[in-house]
Copies of this chain bind each other. A is one copy, B any other.
Amino acid sequence: MVDILHRIGAETPTPETSYDALTTVDGLARWWTEKTTGDAGLGGTVEFRFPDGGFVVEVVEAVPQQRVVWRVVDGPEEWVGTTIEWDLRQDGDFTIVLFAHRGWREPVEFMHHCSTKWATFLVSLKALVEGGDAAPSPRDVKIDNWN
């Protein structure tokens, strides 16, 4: 089992904006993919659509201002059964977001791709929280021949 790990810090006085960006459909649509539907609160199911496919997650943990965990229930077979964890904390002027996409069975080339792509979306999340220009799909940063 191998994990994708990332860290961003968004300059903002509390974790509230970051938490809202992770637990509302409108927030998610503004940094990850414009085609987000469902219920992003605890116990809800969220569908994320991209030009070439998408993912469905269940929200299995949601601790306000602190932590969100999703379990992937549909999407590419490498993703199904994995978990995506978001840990938030305030450190001075920054909300620190620790990200982990855990439970990949093998470090396949698609995992390399997703690791880089997650980083670009986390930079998009940072931009959103800071009031700058986020880049959700289909306006996302292209990294390779897959997207």
Interface residues of A (CB under 8 A from B): 2-9, 91-94, 96, 98-100, 107, 109, 111-113, 115-116, 118-120, 122-123, 126, 141, 143-146
Contacts and interface: CB of A to CB of B under 8 A. Distances in A.
B99 A112 contact: yes
Q: How many subunits of this chain does the assembly comprise?
A: 2
Contacts of A143: 7-9, 122-123, 126
B146 A9 contact: yes
Given A112-B6, A116-B122, A144 B107 contact: no
15 contacts: A2-B2, A2-B3, A4-B115, A5-B111, A5-B112, A5-B115, A6-B112, A7-B109, A7-B143, A98-B112, A99-B112, A116-B123, A118-B119, A120-B123, A122-B143
A7 B146 CA distance: 10
Contacts of A145: 9, 91-94, 96
Contacts of A2: 2-3, 5
Contacts of A112: 5-7, 98-100
A97 B9 CA distance: 27
User: Which residue among A5, A8, A96 has the maximum number of chain B CB atoms within 10 Å of its CB?
Assistant: A5
Contacts of A7: 109, 112-113, 115-116, 143-144
The 6 A-B pairs with the shortest beta carbon distances in the complex, nearest first, are A9-B144, A119-B119, A7-B112, A9-B145, A94-B145, A6-B116
